[in-house]
């Protein structure tokens, strides 16, 4: 089992460290781990050209006019069985870099659109998309904030999982956490989030859960909130 940790914080800061804490817990359970400090990768903003949705609908392929590391980052996510996103809370929500990554996931990686493309490619006698793209995935989010301004963070974070249709396992945030790596309860919670992610990823592997057909599968481990997707209470 591969677990990928993505941190959107400053280098070796709280987000990096807490991400590594959770990854270590997954490693102890037997997972192969990879950590990415997303700022080390070249992730450009979506330019709004809509080449991605046009390419998918017209059966031309997965096209993005931005030439950067996003496609490689998406590949890393696709190949992982579980993804943990740890992101600093900025202006009560996800960070700018996280939002950029989220927009780039957007229509170009929407599972319904990818299925349409897969069908069109096969109709044209071409090879379809990597079947791994249609395998279900466990994903968890943690926001880390220096104050208690956090009202949008769960909603923002869960959006990354919305268009691919991946299953959110935990979507938590820690407030007043400038010294989070010294807070034993928060460290223990990160370890639990890692453990929950491994268990959900194992369920997906054991049951060969594909994204299509798994709409009603609930792997959520946190408190039930108002929204059935992000479990936040904004709406």
Ligand X SMILES: Cc1cc2nc3c(=O)[nH]c(=O)nc-3n(C[C@H](O)[C@H](O)[C@H](O)COP(=O)(O)O)c2cc1C
3-class secondary-structure state, position 13: coil
Give the pair of three-digit tokens for residue 46: 């979506």
Q: Alpha-carbon distance 219 to 29, whole Å?
A: 19
CA pair distance 84, 6, nearest whole angstrom: 6
**Shortest CB 228 distance to ligand X, Å:** 25
Give the nearer residue to ligand X in terms of CB position, either 88 or 106. Answer: 88
Least Cβ distance, residue 93 to ligand X (angstroms): 7
Query: In the complex, what is the shortest distance from the CB of residue 8 to ligand X, in angstroms, rounded to a whole number?
Result: 8
Q: Which residues of this chain interact with ligand X, rule CB under 6 A? A: 9-10, 13-16, 88-92, 144-147, 149-150, 175
Residue 140: partners with Cβ closer than 8 Å, 6 or more residues away: 82, 83, 84, 85, 168, 169, 170, 171, 172, 193, 196, 197
Nearer to ligand X by Cβ, of 88 and 164: the residue is 88
Q: Residue 91 Cβ, how far from ligand X at the closest point, in Å?
A: 5
User: Residue 140's closest CA among 188, 83, 187?
Assistant: 83
Q: How far is the CB of 21 from ligand X (least distance, A)?
A: 13
* Closer CB to ligand X, 16 or 81, in the complex: 16
Closer residue to ligand X, CB minimum distance, 42 or 91: 91
Q: 167: closest CA among 209, 118, 112, 117?
A: 209
Residue with smaller CB distance to ligand X, 19 or 138: 19
């Amino acid at each position: 089992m591969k677990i990928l940790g993505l941190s959107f914080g400053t280098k070796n800061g709280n987000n990096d460290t807490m991400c590594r804490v959770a990854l270590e817990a997954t490693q102890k359970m037997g997972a192969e781990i990879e950590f990415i400090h997303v700022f080390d990768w070249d992730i450009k903003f979506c330019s709004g050209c809509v080449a991605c949705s046009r390419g998918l609908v017209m059966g031309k392929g997965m096209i993005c006019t931005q030439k950067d590391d996003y496609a490689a980052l998406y590949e890393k996510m696709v190949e992982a069985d579980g993804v943990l996103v740890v992101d600093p809370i900025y202006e009560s929500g996800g960070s700018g870099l996280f939002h950029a990554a989220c927009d780039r996931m957007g229509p170009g990686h929407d599972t319904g659109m990818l299925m349409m493309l897969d069908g069109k490619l096969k109709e044209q006698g071409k090879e379809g998309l990597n079947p791994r793209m249609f395998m279900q995935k466990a994903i968890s989010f943690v926001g880390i904030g220096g104050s208690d301004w956090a009202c949008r963070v769960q909603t923002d974070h869960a959006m990354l999982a919305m268009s691919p249709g991946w299953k959110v396992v935990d979507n938590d945030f820690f407030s007043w956490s400038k010294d989070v790596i010294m807070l034993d309860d928060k460290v223990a919670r990160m370890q639990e989030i890692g453990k929950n992610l491994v268990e959900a990823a194992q369920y997906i592997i054991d049951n060969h859960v594909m994204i299509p057909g798994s709409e009603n599968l609930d792997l959520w481990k946190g408190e039930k909130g108002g929204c059935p997707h992000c479990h936040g209470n904004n709406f």
